[in-house]
Every structure is written in structure tokens, then in C-alpha cells.
Structure 1
């Protein structure tokens, strides 16, 4: 897939952040550090990206907010939770569907090893 290398680099950057900081901080700390690492790698990166929701005849200006968006294609949702729940999965899948984004990464920094806190999603409804 065309996004495999970017996804690999994102995960590598997230692991770097986790190695430096460890678990136990707020999501915002990991978000700022991962944002920095991705910028250093040369990617087009946005954080706290507000997206509208269009419902019937109305538009909700701030319907949802993406933690990090890479190359306007890959959604990254950050968590600092004990474990992922179905709601976390539903959240990233909804963001991907509403924005027609092909790839999503759910990253939980509240783990001993970050590799145990990574889920990748592919939008098959494009």
C-alpha cells in the first residue's frame, strides 16, 4: 500500500517519543512530542484538526477533532488509557469515514511497551 512507509515512520516516531517519556503523562504531552517528531521527518502534519459534520440540512462546524493528521491522509488518535475499548475503535473508524481518510492509527501511550498499544485501521469504504 502507498501509505505503508509513512505509517511505519509514524509508528517509529511514536516509539521514540514513548521511549523518551514513558507512560503516565497526559495525551497532550505525547501529541506535542509526536507532532514535533513528524515535522522533523518532513511530513505535512496538523494537530487538533476540527472537522465539520454535515447532518441532513445543517453543518456542525466543530463536529469532531482529529488529534494528528499526517499528509492529510492518516488519522492518528492518541490515548492514555488502561486499555482500548470498543468506543475508541468506533471513534477512529468514524473519523476515517467522515473525512474519507484511508488510514488510521490508534496509539495508547499508557503501556509499558508502545508496540502493545498500537492499532492500525484501513478505510475500505472509499
Structure 2
């Protein structure tokens, strides 16, 4: 990804988020940044909301990290976001490693 190859590692997540926002705009990718999503339990809307880093195409949750290792908890967190918000696809992106790492999470 252009963002990782241009910046490399070592920046805060907020920096990668801002640069990714620029790239989304440049490539005409519809998105909402720091989007609050409603949470449902057995079809009933809860008062609590989740705030995701990006919601693209109104369907894909993008979660960013800038850590040296993608722990399983990050994948589980994204899986919970997908289940609770009834979204089908999430992408976990880590800018903190030497090579860009990403993981596609599907809510079945």
C-alpha cells in the first residue's frame, strides 16, 4: 500500500489514519472516518455504539493499528464489531511492522 511504502513504520495510528483519508479521497473511495455504528442484540438496538476508524462503501469496517505485532485480540475486536453492527466484512491493517500486514475478517 502506498501509505506504508511512503511513510514506513514508527508513526502513531492517527498519522496513518490521516494519510489514508487523503488516499481514499484521491481514489474516490466513499468513506466515513471515526464512524459511530449502532450495536444490536437479538435485533434490538443498544444505547452503546462502536466507533470504527473507517467505514467504506457503508459496509466495510477498516480498523487501523500501528503496533509491532497483530495480537489475536485485535482480530477478535473487529469480529465483535462486525457481529454487533451486522456488517459482513472488516479489514484490520497494521502499519507498525516492517511489511504492511492486513487481515480480512468475515462475519458469517
Offset, 1:90: 1.0
Determine helix, strand or coil for the equivalent of 1:76. strand
Shift of the 69–58 alpha-carbon distance from structure 1 to 2, 3 Å rule, reads: closer
Aligned partner of 2:51 in structure 1 is 65
- Stretches of structure 1 lacking an aligned partner (at least 5 in a row): 1-14
Which residue of 67, 81, 91 corresponds with 1:81?
67
Q: Which has the higher contact order (CA 8 A, sep 6+)?
A: 2
Q: Deviations over 1:17-76 (max 9, x none)?
A: 011111011111111111111121112111101123346887324x31110110011111
Alpha carbons 1:46, 1:69 under 8 Å: kept: yes
Structure (1 or 2) with the greater helix fraction? 1
Alpha carbons 2:93, 2:102 under 8 Å: kept: yes
> What does 1:1-126 correspond to in 2, within 5 Å?
15-54=1-40, 59-61=46-48, 63-114=49-100, 117-124=101-108
Q: Deviations over 1:74-119 (max 9, x none)?
A: 11100011211121011110111122222111011001111xx111
Matches of 1:101 and 1:39, distance apart in 2: 23
Alpha carbons 1:31, 1:78 under 8 Å: kept: yes
TM-score (norm 1): 0.77
CA RMSD of aligned residues (A): 1.8
Structure (1 or 2) with the greater strand fraction? 2
Alpha carbons 2:53, 2:63 under 8 Å: kept: yes
